[in-house]
Structure 1
Amino acid sequence: MLVNFYRHARGQNALREVLGPALQDVLQDRTLSIRTDPVDVYKTWINQTETQTGHKSSLPYEVSPEDALAQPEVQRRIDISIINLKNLTDRVLKAITTSLHKLPYGLRYTAKVLRDALKAKFPEAGEDELYKIVGNLVYYRYMNPAIVAPDGFDVVDRSAGSALQPEQRHILGSIARVLQHAAANKHFHGGGYHIRALNQYISQTHSRFRRFLQSVCDVPEPEDRFSMDEYSELLIVNRPVIYISVSELLNTHKLLLEHQEVLCPDPSDPLGLILKDLGPVPGLQELIGTANRCSAVAIRSEPEVCHDWLMQRRAQQDARTPEKMKRNQSLVANGNLSLEEKKRKILRSLRRLEGLGTLKPPDIENQILQMIAKDIRQQRLHRQRRGAELLKLHQTLSSLQAKSSFHSEQVDYYRHYITSCLDNLTASKSTNQKAADGKGRNKLPALSYSATRLHEKGVLLAIEDLPVTQ
């Protein structure tokens, strides 16, 4: 089911992008021929010789592979075919290994889960055995059919009415067979030198395939890949659309029941509760009959019966809903009203809208229906607008946080600057004080004389406005 899914839509586009250019180059050379069977090469050589000369060849037409390989011309042609086959296979393998990012994520994640599950179930199995099974999924099931028949998978461009020639299909089949053996590290049987050359090439190519398969399995978990958490469903704007047939739906139900213990070991797991409500897997006819009966009941039942059934479903959903995700209490209170109470409340609301002028009689019912329909049509626009506003608010908050961080850094810088300045100022005052104290200690003691003594010594002759006796 998975491989079939990825061969259509996105998976088919991925095959076209990965394999298309390389296969298109292979198909453009119509003179190329790859024949490694000694008997076929021998008979082709004999036929060409007889056609060119117009005489019957003296060599026997029916020979064994050993006798055919004994002819130098046959060896030369096989050597050329092996070289061409290796070059073409390398070209396709390079296109595969260099386009890892173009493979669908779901296919790569399935390969990773398959490898881990096999490793857990068979711990004694080697890496070669594990990646052999992974290669069977990724290459043999997904890519190999597109290489063998690229026109059937729309991998290459073909004009209307044109078809691949038998020789072209033989070349593509030879490339696919070599890649298949290289992915599984399986050698060709035989003892001829051309078989040994191909087996040696397969062993060398297997290591490249092994690294490619390891890279295929190196993918993040879906939660990291799509940035999903428990609130993603509440924030999503465009709901995902799943196209699934009835048979695939039944198969999915069957697989969930078979692996229920692993998927939901907790009894309160929502998936376990859903599977318990669904019960065993119904048959196709039973499912169709149940759907028809439910449709008939929905059409023919009384409004009260439908209302009670809807209320029961709502109660079951509310019981399984976490507390953080439950509806507003006012909505819960409205939901608990009886059918008659809801009718009366709706009539009161209609009269209130009529009094406000929102609704105008006499066609009130159609007006309210048109308003509801308009609101439903514009829900997508409202979600987009809310999403844009939320994104803008997140950007604003991020900018404010960055600005706050910048100002905090500036405050810390200025605080350190002021602290260092104060420390330097304190150190400078201390140094000046010490210098002043040192200078004071080096000065001679001061001498003091009175004015009378200076007058007696003849230093001071007179003081203005002051008698000599004083």
Structure 2
Amino acid sequence: EEYLLLKLFQRSIHEELAGVISLSEFIMGKFTFINLLMQYGRGAKERRYLKDLLGAVINDTVNDDNQRGIMNIETDPIKIYRSVINEEETRTGIQSTRPLDVTFNEALADQETLALFIKHLQSLRTLTDRFLYAITSMPQRMPFGIRYTAREMFRGLQVKFPGESGDSLAKVVLHMIYYRYLQPAVVAPETYDVVDSVIGPCARKNLSEVSKMLNQITVGRLFADDNPYLVPLNEYVCQATDTFINWFYTLVDVEDAEIHFAVDEYLDHTVSTKPVIYISPNEIYLTHSLVAQDLDLIAPSRDDPLKVLLLELGPAPSAASAELDHARAGEIALPLQNKLTVKLDPEADVKALWLKTKRYVLAMLKVQPGLTLMDAFLAPVTVEHELEWARIVAAEIESERTRKGHSPLISSSDQNHGSHTLEDVHSLSFQELKARTLENVLALEKRGKLDREDNYQGILDSLANDILQRNRKRIQRRIDSSVLVNTLLNLKDKQKYLEDQEAQYHSYISDSMAAMQKKGGNKKRFIMPFTPQWHHLRTLEKQGRKPKFGSYKYSAQRLYEKGILLAAKDFSPKQFDKLFVIISCDEVGIFKLELRFMDRLVMGSNSNSNAPATTTAASSSNHKDGIDELRMEDLLEDQFSGKQSLNLDTLKLNLNLLLHLINRKFYV
């Protein structure tokens, strides 16, 4: 099956290339074989290779973050500059004197930003180098299918664009293999079972930065004005590109699929058991219908085998009712038969005769072996031989019937195998079998394929080689089956592990936040009598509405002067002395914020008596009846993503300073 799939890749590549005009068109194209290759790359052995290839370096990267603190390799100076401001404001609770909106050069003029920028570039190069070494260290271990597909793309491009240099074409294919196969495992390693641990947001950001570098290296393009901050790494990109190209040439130095899988177009004639696929009737009818719609494009020739088959079948059936459609949805076992024999070369008849003779010889030697094939032919046939042959035939028929008993469709549709395949030796007597075998051997001798001088040893050598190949394939299938079973079990274990980890994580976070808030909320704070805060708490106590973890009333003027409040909708700073902001917390990690003017609740544009709670895109806060509900995890996520301000329905706040205020009042 893998051989046939790879041949489909090969044919698709050359068909798609036939319609390509330029190399850039191929690079930007969305081809069928690319989608197939992406699915193929998610197979069991392909994923196992990715784990062997990248598991160690990604685990080291993640563990470094966990053990030594989060390693940040952000390389955009403006983002680094803003992170410095975030850290300063969150730590001190005072608005930074640095201007927020700066250019690339202005950000690098800041000494703290420049030092971090240089450090991050060095870390990025070191980490990229580790990934580059891991990827290029074992090209021979990459799955054959990926290497073969890369080879076919490279060869196809060489034929299509003979004027392009080999290195230029190598970069195109190299980028495609990296981008479609390796990169997904770099940026989302847990999805491909490369790592077992959960990747944190900072580690994922670092992997994304490394992937960006590797992508640039595979393309062989230097950084320019679109990424000016990475221009210092251009010399490294050139060196790494040469390393990648050398690795690529080793990668595509691979044998043909026919040699690797030891198959040819006559493989199905060498086995008595026909291949079986499992498919639903609805899928068959849908495929029939889709092919029939574009038959003239798919099979333009009148004598095309596909057109002959579809004309013989007629139109695809359609479901007359939902019940019938549902009944046809179940899978059935469908044996594959070669209805049309197409002679692809002048030796087709000889090859078919050779395969038929090998089958006859193998059957004959089960009953009457000899020191040589000539000895077996010269030995007389006795009644005992006929009885032994009858016993062997009966045993094989019973074995076949037992196998087919698991699928009624196979037993019912397999009745006419003889009309489309080699003659069934089970219908012959042993005397007839031996006579036909000798007749075929003599015919092969006449055509120069066998030699009487060595007692027709050539056909025995071919049989011995087939047996060795069959044993190799059987062992490989057993290994692959075991790998698939273990992979499924590991996936189930991993699913349970991740679910447990998620539950423990949420439980730990909830308990920690509850403990922190309980500690902060129970702390007795001195409140100056007759202040707005004192009156605020007395009012809440009288009304029985005092929040569990505290409530604080601030003058908008005070918050504005501290830089926490940036703007209030429909109010000018001159009115802030009559405007109050109340922050309260009655549930762990959930903070309610309301705006009052002259002791009356200010209703926002999204607030009315009948309106449901809404979520604003900017702040991820719920707003209902004039009260904004903020969640600590949302605030921290906004801060991590680099947001400087929080836009609520009625207020605009400095995110860093707001977090500092919340931490100081509710957690410390």
* TM-score category, normalised to shorter length: 0.5 to 0.7
In structure 2, relative to structure 1, the CA distance for the partners of 1:171 and 1:49 (3 Å cut) is: same
Say if 2:31 is the partner of 1:6: no
Matches within 5 A, 1:12-161: 12-30=47-65, 31-53=70-92, 55-158=94-197
Q: What is the CA deviation profile of residues 271-296 of structure 1, one whole-angstrom value per residue up to 9, with x for unaligned ones?
A: x874453358999x92777xx9xxx9
CA distance in 2, matches of 1:13, 1:212: 20
Structure 1: runs of 5 or more not aligned? 297-312, 332-355, 360-367, 380-385, 395-470
Say if 2:404 is the partner of 1:373: no
Q: 1:223 aligns with which of 245, 254, 258?
A: 258
Supply the AA of the counterpart residue of 2:208: G
Give the CA RMSD over aligned residues: 5.0
Which residue matches 2:309? Answer: 278
In structure 2, relative to structure 1, the CA distance for the partners of 1:122 and 1:375 (3 Å cut) is: closer
Question: Higher helix fraction: Structure 1 or Structure 2?
Answer: 1
CA distance in 2, matches of 1:239, 1:203: 53
Matches within 5 A, 1:68-467: 68-158=107-197, 163-190=198-225, 194-228=229-263, 233=268, 246=283, 274-275=305-306, 277-279=308-310, 286=316, 322=349, 325=352, 372-374=397-399, 390=464
CA distance in 1, matches of 2:219, 2:274: 41
Deviation at 1:102, TM superposition (A): 2.2
CA distance in 2, matches of 1:76, 1:242: 62
Deviation at 1:257, TM superposition (A): 9.2
CA distance in 2, matches of 1:244, 1:198: 53
Deviation at 1:254, TM superposition (A): 11
Which residue matches 1:309? Answer: none
Contact 1:108 1:216 in 2 (8 A): yes
CA distance in 2, matches of 1:281, 1:104: 41
Q: What is the CA deviation profile of residues 390-409 of structure 1, one whole-angstrom value per residue up to 9, with x for unaligned ones?
A: 47999xxxxxxxxxxxxxxx
CA distance in 2, matches of 1:141, 1:235: 37
In structure 2, relative to structure 1, the CA distance for the partners of 1:167 and 1:202 (3 Å cut) is: same
Q: What is the CA deviation profile of residues 241-275 of structure 1, one whole-angstrom value per residue up to 9, with x for unaligned ones?
A: 778895997799999997989xxx9x9xxxx8744
Deviation at 1:314, TM superposition (A): 9.7
Deviation at 1:185, TM superposition (A): 1.6
How many residues were matched structurally?
322
Contact 1:148 1:172 in 2 (8 A): yes
Deviation at 1:376, TM superposition (A): 5.3
SS at match of 1:180: helix
In structure 2, relative to structure 1, the CA distance for the partners of 1:25 and 1:207 (3 Å cut) is: same
SS at match of 1:29: helix
CA distance in 2, matches of 1:281, 1:189: 61
Identity across aligned pairs (percent)? 29
CA distance in 2, matches of 1:57, 1:174: 28
CA distance in 2, matches of 1:123, 1:314: 38
CA distance in 2, matches of 1:278, 1:220: 34
In structure 2, relative to structure 1, the CA distance for the partners of 1:167 and 1:319 (3 Å cut) is: closer
Contact 2:157 2:169 in 1 (8 A): yes
Q: Which protein shows a greater Rg?
A: 1
CA distance in 1, matches of 2:124, 2:238: 15
Contact 1:257 1:275 in 2 (8 A): no
Give the TM-score normalised by the residue count of structure 2.
0.40
Supply the AA of the counterpart residue of 2:52: E
Structure 2: runs of 5 or more not aligned? 1-35, 329-336, 361-386, 405-459, 469-668
Contact 1:79 1:194 in 2 (8 A): no
Question: Higher strand fraction: Structure 1 or Structure 2?
Answer: 2
Deviation at 1:175, TM superposition (A): 0.8
CA distance in 2, matches of 1:281, 1:154: 47
CA distance in 1, matches of 2:273, 2:136: 34
Which residue matches 2:521? Answer: none
Deviation at 1:24, TM superposition (A): 1.5
SS at match of 2:224: coil
Deviation at 1:59, TM superposition (A): 2.3
Supply the AA of the counterpart residue of 2:349: P
In structure 2, relative to structure 1, the CA distance for the partners of 1:157 and 1:255 (3 Å cut) is: farther
Deviation at 1:370, TM superposition (A): 8.7
CA distance in 1, matches of 2:140, 2:239: 24
Deviation at 1:183, TM superposition (A): 0.6
Deviation at 1:53, TM superposition (A): 4.6
CA distance in 2, matches of 1:73, 1:241: 67
